[in-house]
Amino acid sequence: MSELINLDIPGIKAHQQNRHPLLFIDKIVDTKPGKEANSVKCFSYNEWFFPAHFEDEPSVPGFILVESMAQTFLMTFLTIEEHKGKVAVGREINNVKLKKMIIPGDTLKIKALLHSFRRGIAKGSVEGFVDGTLACQAEFIVCLPDVLSGLKPKTKLS
């Protein structure tokens, strides 16, 4: 049975390449490397996007919700020691659903499941909840370019 991992911001930064102002998860909790990742994002009015989206009725933009889910999904396989800190590249985002408006003061709890991880290609699904209610969901395919480049056939020199 694999050990559960919990990470703060420095720990997250050691495992993935996202940095402020584009790091959209606050902590990783009870994560099983190679299987699932769980994160928490606490949205305060001090977030840089709230005054512009929208001043009279602030809400979290959809692209930030998708990126928060993607960053959590990355942690399903970047917490595997041999992949720690590697560059990951998104390939597909499917079946995105933004079901609930998220506003300042809300806490988004995200659960990502890794369905397969072969030859540097990860596939999985993610759901985000606010107060136990499903707020957003998506499916992702992400690759690790350095793993893929190691699988290329060797070319013959003439």
Positions marked active-site:
53
156 belongs to a structural domain:
no
Instruction: Give the strand pairing for 133-143 and 89-98.
Output: antiparallel
pTM of the model: 0.93
CA distance 9 to 28: 9
CATH of the domain at 43: 3.10.129.10
Domain that includes residue 116, residue range: 5-149
pLDDT of residue 62: 97
- pLDDT, tens only, 102-137: 999 999 999 999 999 999 999 999 999 999 999 999
158 belongs to a structural domain:
no
41 belongs to a structural domain:
yes
Q: Which helix (H) or strand (E) holds 14?
A: helix 9-15
> How many domains, the chain?
1
155 belongs to a structural domain:
no
Sheet with 89-98: strands ordered across: 5-7, 27-32, 36-42, 107-118, 121-130, 133-143, 89-98
